[in-house]
Structure 1
Amino acid sequence: MSEDNSTSFINLGDLSKPANTLIEKVSSAVGGLFAPWQIKRVAKAKAEAYLIDEKNQIEISDLHRRAMHRFVEEEAKRQQNMEEITKKSLAYLNEDSKPDQMEDDWITNFFDKSRIISDDDMQKLWSQVLAGEANSPGSFSKRTVNLLSDLDKKDAELFQTLCRFVWNFGDNQPLVPFVYDMSEEIYNKHGIDFESLTHLDSLGLISFHGLAGFLLNGLPKNLTAKYYDQKLSLILPKESENEIGIGSVILSQTGKELAKIALTVPVDDFFDSVRVKWIEFLPNQKA
């Protein structure tokens, strides 16, 4: 590999201003992200520091050589992962994103956790978090990044499945995954049951109470609920301070942050299933 520091796997001149700004911001925070030549230089310097004590020269054994080779290979792989995640994130940037306002400490922590991620699907998830933070700095906490680093692919896929049951009540209300009766087929055939919900609870992505359930309160008389592109107008009993049951699951703060970037598709017939329940429970609701 050439050590020409103009070498890069991406042409910055072909990118939008937000993409350029994100790359520059990330490179500044973690050090020459898009200069593949640098990893060789840094790895070589660290390896030499490891192998040679200026005050006490030692004979380099086969063990030392293997250690040096392993170090270089591991760092090169991590560099590749960091570059792939950043490259994938560019597709999710908004035109009005603000990568220049991202905190350096957040970026450093993000890549410290994500640099070992090599699976393509998981890299896409991490890239969405990076782009989401660039689009709106402060959207993803360090706690969320740290929790994400503990998720395996099956955990992430299970959480995304749960997000297929999420309803939106507007900007001032939380995203709500409606799970009224976990024994119903509409949930079970997608892998949402007591065991999977308990597992997501243990990961810190949701709170799950199979018996008591949760309420959404402080609601106005007229409320619009949205499931993907389908809308349902609700008529609640009182003029203000209404409450409605929302089932046995709510998202944790980390779950709320990750749900915003979940790329999912609606569940067939779920909109009508929830609509029927609200018609049953709300006295003023019309079909």
Structure 2
Amino acid sequence: MDNANVPSNLTQKDKYIFSVLCQFSWIQGEPLPLIFDFEDEVYSRQGITLPTLRHLENVGLIAFESGGFVKKGLGKHTRLFYCGKPTKIGFQNAENNFLDLGHVLLTARGKELALTVPVIRNQQFYEYVIRRWFEQGLVLSSIQIGRNRKSNFVDSVCAIKEPE
């Protein structure tokens, strides 16, 4: 990490926990850590639990809301990126759609730090998010869906769009 931009009162443990959190970030103009169910093992196996989220909130890197956050006012389609690869989301309505963002948003301080953290792709988390969106009735297309998979779930429920 570039220490020039890192808030000075963070410990190495704080920075480490935050870097682990960043593997759950999708990008839509800014990093959006998608923490839907902090008790789910996709998060807890990586050490992201309610106490670690509360700690990151206390040091000013995230905002935590038990009721969750949503992004409102979306049109028929939107696009989010995970590890630099796009996933297109289609909604049922032509306008005024919303996307559940989970329980965590980055603060300005967290966004600044996130720019310095190399994100490690977590395929299980990616599939968890895709499955969740699909179960919400969203139409998905991505060059990532169905690649190098042994499971039939992702291949059978999501549109696969090849790179153009």
**TM-score bracket, shorter-length normalisation:** 0.7 to 0.9
* Counterpart AA for 1:233: K
Q: Does 1:228 pair with 2:83?
A: yes
Who is 1:261 aligned against? 116
Give 2:39's match in structure 1, choosing from 183, 186, 193: 183
Q: CA-to-partner distance for each residue in 1:135-158, whole Å, 9 max, x for gaps?
A: xxxxxxxxxx6xx11101000010
Q: CA-to-partner distance for each residue in 1:223-268, whole Å, 9 max, x for gaps?
A: 1111103321100132233211111111111111211221121113
Give 1:208's match in structure 2, choosing from 56, 64, 84: 64
Residue 214 of structure 1: SS of its match in structure 2? strand
Residue 128 of structure 2: SS of its match in structure 1? helix
Report the TM-score, using the length of structure 2 for normalisation.
0.79
Percent identity over the alignment is 30
Instruction: Tell whether the 8 Å contact from 2:83 to 2:121 is kept in structure 1 after alignment.
Output: yes
Q: Which has the higher contact order (CA 8 A, sep 6+)?
A: 2
* Counterpart AA for 2:91: L
* Counterpart AA for 1:239: A
Aligned length: 142
Given the superposition, is the C-alpha separation of residues 154 and 275 from structure 1 closer, same or farther in structure 2, using an over 3 Å criterion? same
Q: CA deviation at 1:160?
A: 0.8
* Counterpart AA for 1:194: L
Report the structure number with the largest CA radius of gyration.
1
Report the TM-score, using the length of structure 1 for normalisation.
0.47
Who is 1:126 aligned against? 3
Instruction: Tell whether the 8 Å contact from 1:232 to 1:275 is kept in structure 2 after alignment.
Output: no
**Structure 1 or 2: larger strand share?**
2
Give 1:167's match in structure 2, choosing from 26, 30, 48: 26
Who is 1:151 aligned against? 10
Q: Does 1:281 pair with 2:140?
A: no
Instruction: Tell whether the 8 Å contact from 1:235 to 1:282 is kept in structure 2 after alignment.
Output: no
CA distance in 1, matches of 2:58, 2:74: 30
Q: Spell out structure 1 runs of 4+ moving beyond 6 A.
A: none
Instruction: Tell whether the 8 Å contact from 1:236 to 1:284 is kept in structure 2 after alignment.
Output: yes
Who is 1:247 aligned against? 102
* Counterpart AA for 2:95: S
Residue 135 of structure 2: SS of its match in structure 1? helix
Given the superposition, is the C-alpha separation of residues 283 and 176 from structure 1 closer, same or farther in structure 2, using an over 3 Å criterion? closer
**Structure 1 or 2: larger helix share?**
1
* Counterpart AA for 1:181: D
CA distance in 1, matches of 2:46, 2:104: 16
Q: How does 1:2-151 map to 2 (within 5 A)?
A: 124-127=1-4, 129=5, 148-151=7-10
